[in-house]
């Protein structure tokens, strides 16, 4: 009996140069920060992380941002070094690990230029085409001269030769996002008056010279791909026509182009490089489709592609030849294998929450909000079976409780999960209520579905008391009862025009035309944006400073920009003192000020239900508190805490 493949375009092999790739999915480069922090040496953690991506079923696995010069071209801690011959043995281990799963291995070779981390410069300034006042820090950059350009080319070709020697299949030349190569092509960043500045032909001269040298060094042993921004997302940036003309010449030396987006010139352009859930899915696809019509080589596209259905659609419509994904393959490291076997409904969705990048900038290995094993493959490559089977009672069916239950049953424990509502999910319902949080809604469906079939006994509609625990007689208890909304003792708080952020987000109570949102944290700001998109006139009142608002969000800059775009007024240093039919009274700069509003939304945050939790702690000696019940935070915190406890019981 023949097997019907659900995603025929994804699983059609593709040729890139002399290399045949088994399918059309590329693990897009992302710095996992697993390499040794100072030297960039390969580690067991990096081998395991890269191997997990190969095991996922991806056709190409790309290691992110490896500088061609560790002294002045680096912008990440924990990035892989390919700059010394002594790096080759570690690189060979990486290649062996990827090849054992039938995938091809590539590495993103980059010269960060002015976006290099000043803390990683080893006594030498970063190199830029031109020093631009107001853009560059003159203390840390210098205009590259032609002898240094030759040196950069030599270093790049040396790295390519090491890739060949280590058995790599491909190397990606990073020419996007404002790094050294892309800066040469930009009128905003290249004001040179020699033969490498001025006209488009001159500005692309150095990148083309480099690509020609790289091709010569690689020969037919190594495929070469080039990453370029489809749109730099900045006024006055390189035009599409200029990029197309450049690639038409560059394709003589490269085997594939990868279309990305954005750059470092401002938080708006920067936010596009790894788009959060505030942006549309597949945001670079149309640029890739346009570029594909101009070129004879394969085109890969990255950016906000989070599902196999999206990838299949892109390929079926002929808008790209390969689809590059990273975060989705981290969220579920079996993604491609599940799709191959027709189990796409079991794929754990990516939230696009950006939590995976929270700590990599300081050299802490990558983490994932929904996959607590990701980035920790050395310790949790496989979840260990329990040495002693126990009966474990999980109290609470929110994200933490469900993660705990699934982990415990996978280890072989006897698990019962109690939830006071009639359904599982907890605060995931409100977390996914906003228009842009489709990933959260998909994750809710997945988490409930997987929990219901994991083998745990599920009891809903039951409020747990000490007597309930005593009746169950568990060996261990995990308390994951979540947190309750904070309601401050403010005059007028029970007025008919006062609603909570949960009621607003879930639509159980409607807001009027003029809305005052009290609380400028992430929940309050996202609610304000949602209301403004619906046509409300919104003011956010926050007691803290602007710098302290939404500090738990990596997408803060774009959130604030969107709020500004939709006319949301943000007021900081405003302490709420009273609610009334007229609006909100606050103390601002020592004066009483009234902000008129038809509806007042309270978004003062969450706190653990201390009384409930304390009553449950002393029934069973082995009792743990996780998630919001322990400390209110993000879904990532809840999942990680629950997993860490459940995997050790």
**What's the whole-number average pLDDT of the chain?**
95
String of DSSP letters for 414-428: EEEEEESSSSS-TTH
- Whole-angstrom CA distances from 492 to 127, 228, 579 are 60, 56, 5
Confidence of residue 2 (pLDDT cuts 50, 70, 90): low
The confidence score (pLDDT) of residue 101 equals 97
Are 557 and 592 in contact by the 8 Å Cβ rule? The answer is no
- Please tell me which residue, 365 or 2, carries the higher pLDDT value: 365
Angle subtended by helix axes 635-646 and 399-410, to nearest 10:
30
The confidence score (pLDDT) of residue 264 equals 81
**pLDDT one-digit tens code per residue, 601-613:** 999 999 998 889 9
CA angle 402, 32, 561 (to 5 degrees): 80
The confidence score (pLDDT) of residue 3 equals 63
Share of residues in the chain with pLDDT > 90 (%)? 88
Q: Which two tokens stand for residue 314?
A: 């892109």
Dihedral over alpha carbons 144, 150, 151, 157 (to 10 degrees): 130
Phi/psi of residue 99, each to 5°?
-65, -30
Whether the full predicted model's pTM is greater than 0.85, yes or no, is: yes
Are 367 and 355 in contact by the 8 Å Cβ rule? The answer is yes
Q: What string of H, E and C letters represents the secondary structure of 262-306?
A: CCCCCHHHHHCCCCCCCCCCCCCHHHHHHHHHHCCCCEEECCCCC
Phi/psi of residue 273, each to 5°?
-60, -40
Map out the domains of the chain with their CATH numbers.
14-380 (3.20.20.70), 391-485+607-646 (3.40.50.720), 498-604 (3.50.50.60)
Confidence of residue 62 (pLDDT cuts 50, 70, 90): very high
Checking if the pLDDT of 262 tops 50, the result is yes
Cα(319)–Cα(313) distance, integer angstroms: 9
The confidence score (pLDDT) of residue 206 equals 98
Cα(570)–Cα(153) distance, integer angstroms: 49
The confidence score (pLDDT) of residue 1 equals 34
Give the residue carrying structure tokens 């902000």: 595
Q: How many helices (H) and strands (E) does the chain have?
A: 22, 27
Angle subtended by helix axes 88-99 and 44-55, to nearest 10:
30
Checking if the pLDDT of 481 tops 70, the result is yes
**pLDDT one-digit tens code per residue, 617-649:** 999 999 999 999 999 999 999 999 999 999 999
Are 648 and 390 in contact by the 8 Å Cβ rule? The answer is no
Confidence of residue 358 (pLDDT cuts 50, 70, 90): confident
Are 572 and 295 in contact by the 8 Å Cβ rule? The answer is no
Residues 6+ apart with CB under 8 A from 17: 170, 220, 223, 224, 255, 256
**pLDDT one-digit tens code per residue, 379-429:** 999 999 999 999 999 999 999 999 999 999 999 999 999 999 999 999 999
Cα(251)–Cα(235) distance, integer angstroms: 27
The confidence score (pLDDT) of residue 134 equals 87
Short-list 3, 38, 10, 43, CA closest to 24:
10
Q: Which two tokens stand for residue 143?
A: 């205009």
**pLDDT one-digit tens code per residue, 456-477:** 999 999 999 999 999 999 999 9
Short-list 270, 230, 278, 135, CA closest to 564:
278
Q: Which two tokens stand for residue 13?
A: 């092999």
Q: What is the mean pLDDT of residues 352-359?
A: 91
Cα(292)–Cα(319) distance, integer angstroms: 7
Are 432 and 440 in contact by the 8 Å Cβ rule? The answer is yes
Checking if the pLDDT of 15 tops 80, the result is yes
Are 372 and 400 in contact by the 8 Å Cβ rule? The answer is no
Cα(355)–Cα(552) distance, integer angstroms: 9
Q: What is the mean pLDDT of residues 178-200?
A: 96
The confidence score (pLDDT) of residue 557 equals 87
Cα(611)–Cα(462) distance, integer angstroms: 17
Q: Which two tokens stand for residue 579?
A: 């609610």
String of DSSP letters for 8-64: TTTTS-EEETTEEESSSEEE-------S-TTT----HHHHHHHHHHHHTT-SEEEEE
- Would you tell me how many other CB atoms lie within 10 Å of the CB of residue 587? 14
Q: What string of H, E and C letters represents the secondary structure of 195-215?
A: CCCCCHHHHCHHHHHHHHHHH
User: First vs last Cα of the chain: how many Å apart?
Assistant: 44
The confidence score (pLDDT) of residue 418 equals 98
How far does Cα 170 stand from its chain's mean position? 24
Checking if the pLDDT of 151 tops 70, the result is yes
Checking if the pLDDT of 192 tops 90, the result is yes
- Whole-angstrom CA distances from 311 to 318, 322, 387 are 11, 9, 41
Short-list 603, 574, 437, CA closest to 511:
603
Burial class of residue 536 (count of CB atoms within 10 Å of its CB; 0-12, 13-18, 19+): buried
């Amino acid at each position: 009996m023949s097997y019907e493949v659900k995603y025929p375009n994804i699983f059609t092999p593709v040729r890139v140069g002399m290399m045949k790739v088994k399918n059309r999915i590329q693990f897009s480069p992302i710095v996992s920060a697993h390499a040794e922090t100072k030297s960039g040496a390969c580690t067991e953690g990096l081998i395991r992380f890269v191997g997990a991506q190969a095991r996922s079923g991806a056709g190409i696995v790309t290691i992110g941002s490896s500088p061609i010069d560790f002294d002045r071209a680096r912008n990440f801690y924990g990035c892989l070094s390919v700059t010394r011959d002594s790096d080759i043995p570690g690189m060979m281990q990486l290649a062996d690990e990827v090849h054992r799963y039938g995938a091809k291995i590539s590495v993103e070779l980059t010269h960060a230029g002015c976006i290099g981390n000043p803390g990683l410069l080893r006594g030498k300034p970063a190199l830029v085409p031109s020093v631009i006042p107001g853009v560059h820090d003159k203390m840390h950059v210098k205009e590259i001269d032609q002898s240094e350009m030759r040196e950069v080319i030599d270093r790049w070709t040396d790295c390519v030769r090491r890739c060949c020697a280590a058995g790599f299949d491909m190397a990606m030349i990073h020419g996007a996002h404002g790094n050294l190569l892309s800066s040469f092509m930009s009128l905003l960043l290249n004001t040179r008056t020699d033969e490498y500045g001025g006209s488009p032909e001159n500005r692309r001269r150095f990148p083309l010279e480099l690509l020609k040298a790289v091709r010569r060094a690689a020969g037919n042993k190594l495929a070469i791909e080039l990453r370029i921004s489809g749109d730099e997302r900045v006024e006055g940036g390189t035009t599409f026509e200029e990029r197309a003309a450049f690639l038409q010449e560059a394709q003589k030396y490269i085997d594939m182009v990868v279309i990305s987006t954005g750059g470092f010139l401002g938080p708006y352009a920067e936010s596009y490089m790894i788009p959060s859930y505030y942006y549309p899915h597949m945001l670079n696809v149309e640029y890739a489709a346009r570029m594909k019509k101009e070129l004879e080589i394969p085109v890969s596209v990255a950016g906000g592609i989070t599902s196999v259905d999206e990838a299949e659609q892109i390929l079926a419509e002929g808008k790209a030849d390969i689809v590059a994904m990273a975060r989705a393959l981290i969220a579920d490291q079996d993604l491609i294998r599940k799709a191959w076997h027709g189990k796409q409904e079991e794929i754990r969705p990516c939230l696009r929450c950006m939590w995976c990048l929270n700590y990599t900038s300081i050299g802490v290995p990558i983490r994932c909000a929904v996959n607590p094993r990701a980035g920790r493959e050395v310790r949790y490559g496989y979840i260990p079976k329990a040495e002693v089977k126990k009966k474990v009672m999980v109290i609470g069916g929110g994200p933490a409780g469900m993660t705990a239950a699934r982990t415990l049953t996978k280890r072989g424990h006897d698990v019962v999960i109690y939830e006071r509502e009639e359904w599982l999910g907890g605060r995931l319902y409100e977390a996914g209520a906003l228009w842009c949080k489709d990933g959260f809604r998909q994750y809710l469906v997945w988490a409930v579905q997987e929990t219901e079939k994991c083998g745990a006994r599920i009891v809903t509609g039951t409020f747990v008391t000490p007597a309930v625990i005593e009746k169950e007689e568990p060996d261990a208890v995990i308390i994951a009862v979540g947190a309750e909304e904070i309601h401050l003792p403010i005059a007028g708080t029970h007025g008919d025009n006062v609603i909570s952020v949960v009621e607003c987000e879930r639509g159980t109570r409607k807001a009027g035309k003029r809305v005052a949102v009290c609380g400028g944290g992430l929940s309050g700001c996202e609610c304000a944006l949602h209301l403004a998109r619906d046509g409300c006139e919104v003011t956010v009142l926050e007691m803290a400073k602007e710098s302290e608002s939404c500090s738990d969000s990596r997408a803060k800059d774009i959130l604030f920009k969107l709020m500004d775009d939709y006319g949301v007024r943000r007021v900081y240093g405003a302490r709420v003192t009273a609610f009334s039919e007229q609006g909100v009274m606050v103390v601002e700069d020592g004066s009483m000020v009234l902000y008129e509003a038809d509806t007042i939304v309270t978004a003062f945050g969450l706190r653990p239900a201390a009384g409930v939790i304390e009553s449950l702690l002393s029934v069973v000696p082995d009792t743990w508190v996780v998630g919001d019940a322990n400390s209110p935070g993000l879904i990532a915190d809840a999942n990680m805490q629950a997993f860490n406890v459940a995997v050790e019981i």
